Amino acid sequence: MSEHWLVRPRTIRRLWRVFIAILALTVLAGGVVDAHPHFAIEGLSGFNALYGFLACAALILVAKAIGLVLKRPDDYYDDDAR
């Protein structure tokens, strides 16, 4: 069975290019639409893009840190059987 077209490296490279183009478009569109921000910071161009990226990076790091302390093998609770 040949590889599904969606998982071929060429398709994935193309998808990345399209994705980056869309990312750029959303940032550019931010300058065009009629802004009505609640807070000064919201009006900065590309604020939501940067904030979304940084928030997610921070969440992943926090999860990683918590995981270091609280992760256990997934049969951890198996012996609480009664």
Partner 1 sequence: MTLASHPGLWLIAAAALLPLLGGRLRGAAALAAPLAALAFAWQLEAGVHWRAGFLGMELAPFAVDALSRLFAMIFALMAFAGALFALNQPRRLELSAAFLYAGAAIGVALAGDLVTVFVWWEVMAIGSTLVLWSAATPQAYRASMRYLMVHLFGGMLLFIGVAAQVAATGTTAFEPMALAGPAQALILAAFLVNAGAWPLSAWLPDAYPEASWSGMVFLSAFTTKTAVYVLLRGFPGTELLVYVGLVMVFYGIVYALLENDMRRILAYSIVNQVGFMVTGIGIGTELALNGAAAHAFTHILYKALLLMSAGAVLYATGRRRCTDLGGLFRTMPLTAACGIVGALAISSFPLTSGFVSKSMITQAAGDEHLFAVWLALAAASAGVFLHAGIKFPWFVFFQKDSGLRPPDPPWNMRAAMLLLAALCIGLGIFYEPLYRLLPYTVDYAPYTGFHVVAQLQLLLFSGLAFFVMLGWLRRTLTVTLDADWLYRVLAPGVVAVLGRALGRAMAVAGALTAGAGARIGAHAQRLYGPHGPLARTWPAGAMGLGVMGMLLALLLSYYLL
Q: Footprint of partner 1 on this chain (CB under 8 A)?
A: 4, 6-7, 19, 22-23, 26-27, 29-30, 32-39, 42, 46, 48-53, 55-64, 66-67, 70-74, 76-77, 80-82
In whole angstroms, how close is the CB of 47 to partner 1 at the nearest point? 8
> CB neighbours of 5 closer than 8 A, spacing ≥ 6?
11
- Counted residue by residue, the chain has a size of 82
In whole angstroms, how close is the CB of 21 to partner 1 at the nearest point? 11
Amino acid at 80: D
d(CA 57, CA 34): 29
In whole angstroms, how close is the CB of 14 to partner 1 at the nearest point? 15
